[in-house]
Copies of this chain bind each other. A is one copy, B any other.
Amino acid sequence: MKTNKLCIMRLSKYKSALYRLKSLGFVRIFSDNLADAVEVTSSQVRKDFSIFDISGNKRGGYKIDELIEKINTILGKDELQKVVIIGVGKLGSALMHYTGFEKEGIKIVAAFDIDALKFKHKDKTPVLPLAELPEFVRKNNIKIGIITVPATAAQQVVEIMLPAGIKGVLNFAPIQLRGNDDCQINNVNLEVELENLIYFVNVLIKTKGK
């Protein structure tokens, strides 16, 4: 089964579009509609589905509920995903208090910091000393961590997370982190995102003549 990152990202987007379409009263959907919603071609949608043996009905399209179910299974969303955050600063606390992840079955169960002023042992989502991370992660069988510490601290945080058993990291520090074969590290680099946008806006302005 050939899969790639972009294809998996599209599956997420299809799902999100499906929830929206469902809430609008749709029960069945065609590859065309989904394509419009996610801004890809309809053959892209069908090809993606075909990779995962998702099939619909010729002429009848796809049943939204079944489709959501199937995509969730593929994405591994059968059970609640527990996630920890390391670094409870501006960005870390925004993410920590964001409720939008829960509807996707993602729950932030704890956060960690080295600044004693941030500790909140008794909160619903506690903020704990970084030193307690390994034990917490092992006890609660956590696989995923979000890094929102300064760039200078990020690699050293990874070195603590790996032996603790973390298998996936979403890193917001603007630095390329090194994992190992047992751990997938994805980076969200907002500086890079903004620079990219600026480049294409400049191209746009130039080609359109202001």
Q: Please list the residues of chain A having a beta carbon within 8 angstroms of any beta carbon in chain B.
A: 5, 8-9, 12-13, 16-17, 20, 37-39, 74-77, 81, 83, 90-91, 93-95, 97-98, 100-101, 104, 106, 143-144, 167-170, 174-176, 182-184, 186, 188-202, 204-205, 208
Q: Do B191 and A204 have beta carbons less than 8 Å apart?
A: no
Contacts of A144 in B (CB 8 A): 194, 197-198, 201
Of chain B, the residue at the smallest CB distance from A99 is B90
CB-nearest residue of chain B to A143: B201
A205 vs B181: C-alpha distance when bound (angstroms): 11
Copies of this protein chain in the complex: 2
A204 lies within 8 A of B12 (CB): no
Cβ-defined partner of A194 (8 Å) among B104, B183, B191? B104
What are 28 of the A-B contact pairs (CB < 8 Å)?
A: A8-B199, A8-B200, A16-B175, A17-B176, A38-B176, A75-B195, A75-B199, A76-B201, A83-B194, A90-B98, A91-B98, A100-B174, A101-B191, A104-B194, A106-B191, A106-B194, A167-B201, A167-B204, A168-B197, A168-B201, A169-B197, A182-B208, A183-B204, A184-B201, A186-B197, A186-B200, A188-B188, A188-B190
